[in-house]
Structure 1
């Protein structure tokens, strides 16, 4: 599974190794394949609202879709900070300094900072000389760099550390909790977990102790419940510190959608199950894996019995009823009532992919070497052949072949177009839903379409 994910991503992205080649030039095309920005640029990044970073002779600036240089190339790096503002760097990645400029190129924050983070709750963290402070969205310094460590704003509160102790500040630069805690977690639902020496409890937004420090381990509140541990047993408390779910489990997850995963601590049942917010067992703790977050997707939870290589997957609904018996070697997440499934061949070295519905019925028989995990614009991306002779195409949601598997690489349909390539290391282009070539296969690299355009690259003669 990991192999194909890497292949798909690299197919869509502009590979970084091309940036160093003087023979590769970048331009922009529209969804008809018309060149709207000539291939004369050493590098073009992602366009956002008509502006993109570009590189010329090793320096970066900003251009628009007409090719007009809005900010001349003078920086060693340029990134979008937020709408109308760009983060820029002078110097190398290791030792360079960061600042902010607007879309006219005017300096908003001098490039003298070691790091600048993204904006949250109207503020961004900045670092200079090993100390952290905060700037506002316009680049004005609002909190002087005086903190050793920070955890960014959440619920308009940030965690800050000085000399190994943690406290809390608000987005008005006020210290709400003096740095006195050995450890602190971000606020959730108005409470933050804190540790003093070996015991955990919770404080409120004013720093008052809301739940006594008596626990060996705690989790943040989720859906008004927090995981707690004493010794080797886990349970859940509410926001007043009352134990609502008895400490009896060897391991638990936080609640999501009214359910939490629990792991039995007995020798007979050393596996995973699911409980509701009343502590009632919905799925018995007898499974080696219960599918990744969220526990229930479209009302269904995927479970596996057995090890990764030989285990079998099944499906439960929220009532605890088994919808699909443990039969498949893999079941993907449900999307619009369907999920891809994988069934190994008898030799257990390879197998085939198909699709089931939310009743467990097989709607597409397992016949494909690989399938994308969901249908995009009503079509699944599929691969026939083997990994040494890949043939990619598309089928509809009933399994009917719409585009014959023939491409050495292909991607999902987005806005009626799918990227394709005939042979390895050959040119890329796009096909339409009929399988006709909509954008000529002439590009060495091609980024995903966004805002109706794609950045493309081609090797040109010197």
Structure 2
């Protein structure tokens, strides 16, 4: 299925990364999403950061409370969920309502809200019956609970949208620009601390100029056909007469916001003044004092004043081109006709090796243009300081720096060298080889998960957990490789005091407490980990996914759905008559760290 997967935060961790053209294959895994590494995230983070009070849900019946660094209970377990303390306040949830407690466990903000955001600059968003307001750290009203979305402009002024609030995702928005995504089709105005309108709702679209509470924001009133966006002040009056078709926010510490008028791109500073002339074909965000640009078939970087720092021939965009090869991790693309590899002449290793594309095949060339080796490949991942991955006759292999085929053979799958080792699979067996082509570990039938990090580092699952797979560990495992052929025992994936558990007698999923007792009976086709006191579960009798609380009851404030909510598959639409079954199939087939095949 040629689709793109995107994942909710903390839901899953990929076994293999997309940068490896021939990645490790994964066996089917249990229909639970989550991992031991993610379990009780807040508790683990609080310990790591040295918090004096640590939230934990490892009490009886998965009730949540707070302990000190020595494990002594300080705030008794009485909540369904508890957050870390920030500025002497912690967000908690109980009986379906949110409040905030102080360090003694007493409520500083009564648990009367349908949802609360965390405190930010001493303020929090509060939701009651589809209306939003702002409260302070003691629960005092700052903006009445009567709006559809709220975004802070300054300490005393806020952008506010018409009600009701539309919940667009699982998490509750902070007082920042992300709230804007939660008010589609609403008009916006400016409201003062206390609730009086400075400007009544009139703007059809808004966007903060920056996150630094400068009081400036972009607004569009819908009356301009070509140039819609204008920079506004706290009084709702334009800062200047400049109008733009497209605007972006200033990234922290950059004092530059990208703008576009017609087909020309430039940038303004934090006062809305044009400081980079609108002359570029495209500009990206400013970060670290520079922005990527494209202009007249060239591309590179500019500084904050628009001066060109680097310049090269423009490469095609990924959206309309096909990856043809890589040279030292830099991608090279075919032209739209697929007959020419663009930019190949400019990409060479320090020793002069480069690629040639002729008659639909790639050849590795030495500095003197001599083939090394004289073999045509369908794909080449040319590495400058390690053996290169190549594809030949639908098989994968490695070509050494001096042009030799490692191990004198090709494999079903191969992953790039990292730290002097590479993993391969062939005929269902897994192995690790060295840069001289020798087999350092295996071949063997691997019975546990492996992964490749974003930096290319290998990892493998052992009984004690996941470890980095380097030369030292490979040598250690080579002395007793049989342990890699034995299936690991099923581990509970703890999250907020509960762990998903598959019940062999019913072939269903439920949740157990730390004693191993089912507190939510096994009845689901698949489950997610608990987060914020709730978890997604697939109900076979309803043929729907619903959010449940820690008692296993369906949460009434979140709509059940036919399709699985855990993995977003772009450009894919489930068949209407098999929506539920198709979602279960996707979840069961998706790799997770910590899982083993069943």
Match of 1:126 in 2: 160
Residues 91, 98 of structure 2: 8 Å contact kept = no
Q: Structure 1 residue 102: deviation in Å? A: 2.5
Match of 1:102 in 2: 136
| 2-structure distance, mates of 1:363, 1:123 | 65
Aligned with 2:138: secondary structure?
coil
Deviation readout 1:345-392 (Å, 9 max, x if unpaired) = 425xxx6587999x99998768453135569xxx96616xxxxxxx88
Deviation readout 1:124-173 (Å, 9 max, x if unpaired) = 6532363335679x888897455322223338564332225112346898
In the TM superposition, what are the counterparts of 1:365-404 in structure 2 within 5 Å? 367=446, 369-371=448-450, 373=452, 382=461, 393-395=465-467, 398=473
Match of 2:23 in 1: none
Match of 1:227 in 2: 293
Aligned with 1:5: secondary structure?
coil
| 1-structure distance, mates of 2:344, 2:142 | 53
Q: Structure 1 residue 306: deviation in Å? A: 6.5
Match of 1:409 in 2: 491
Q: CA 1:237–1:128 in 2, change beyond 3 Å: closer, same or farther?
A: same
| 2-structure distance, mates of 1:124, 1:311 | 60
| 1-structure distance, mates of 2:293, 2:158 | 31
Match of 1:51 in 2: 90
Q: 1:196 aligns with which of 256, 261, 269?
A: 261
Q: CA 1:261–1:133 in 2, change beyond 3 Å: closer, same or farther?
A: farther
Residues 269, 285 of structure 1: 8 Å contact kept = no
Q: CA 1:29–1:195 in 2, change beyond 3 Å: closer, same or farther?
A: closer
The alignment status of 1:180 with 2:218, answered yes or no, reads no
Q: Structure 1 residue 200: deviation in Å? A: 3.6
Q: CA 1:262–1:27 in 2, change beyond 3 Å: closer, same or farther?
A: same
The alignment status of 1:76 with 2:114, answered yes or no, reads yes
The alignment status of 1:5 with 2:30, answered yes or no, reads no
Q: Structure 1 residue 113: deviation in Å? A: 1.8
Match of 1:387 in 2: none
Deviation readout 1:222-261 (Å, 9 max, x if unpaired) = 553532154xx452363446595244432389xxxxx986
TM-score (norm 2): 0.46
Aligned with 1:47: secondary structure?
strand
What is the root-mean-square deviation of aligned Cα atoms in Å?
6.2
Q: Structure 1 residue 98: deviation in Å? A: 0.9
Give the paired residue count: 384
Higher percent of residues as helix: 2
Residues 218, 229 of structure 1: 8 Å contact kept = no
Match of 2:229 in 1: 166
Residues 157, 190 of structure 2: 8 Å contact kept = yes
TM-score (norm 1): 0.57
Using the TM superposition, name which of 189-198 and 205-214 deviates more.
205-214
Match of 2:206 in 1: 150
Match of 2:63 in 1: 26
Higher RCO, Cα 8 Å, sep 6+: 2
Match of 1:250 in 2: 316
Q: Structure 1 residue 313: deviation in Å? A: 9.5
Residues 209, 248 of structure 2: 8 Å contact kept = no
| 1-structure distance, mates of 2:530, 2:284 | 41
Q: Structure 1 residue 110: deviation in Å? A: 1.2
Aligned with 1:73: secondary structure?
strand
Q: Structure 1 residue 8: deviation in Å? A: 5.2
Q: Structure 1 residue 114: deviation in Å? A: 0.7
Aligned with 2:13: secondary structure?
helix
Aligned with 1:82: secondary structure?
coil
Match of 1:19 in 2: none
Q: CA 1:363–1:247 in 2, change beyond 3 Å: closer, same or farther?
A: same
Q: Structure 1 residue 75: deviation in Å? A: 1.6
Aligned with 1:116: secondary structure?
strand
Ranges in structure 2 where 5+ consecutive residues have no aligned partner = 15-31, 41-59, 164-185, 320-328, 363-377, 478-482, 504-508, 521-528, 532-548, 553-598
Q: Structure 1 residue 78: deviation in Å? A: 1.8
Residues 134, 144 of structure 2: 8 Å contact kept = yes
| 1-structure distance, mates of 2:515, 2:117 | 31
Q: Structure 1 residue 97: deviation in Å? A: 1.0
Residues 194, 200 of structure 1: 8 Å contact kept = yes
Deviation readout 1:188-210 (Å, 9 max, x if unpaired) = 65544433334444455565555
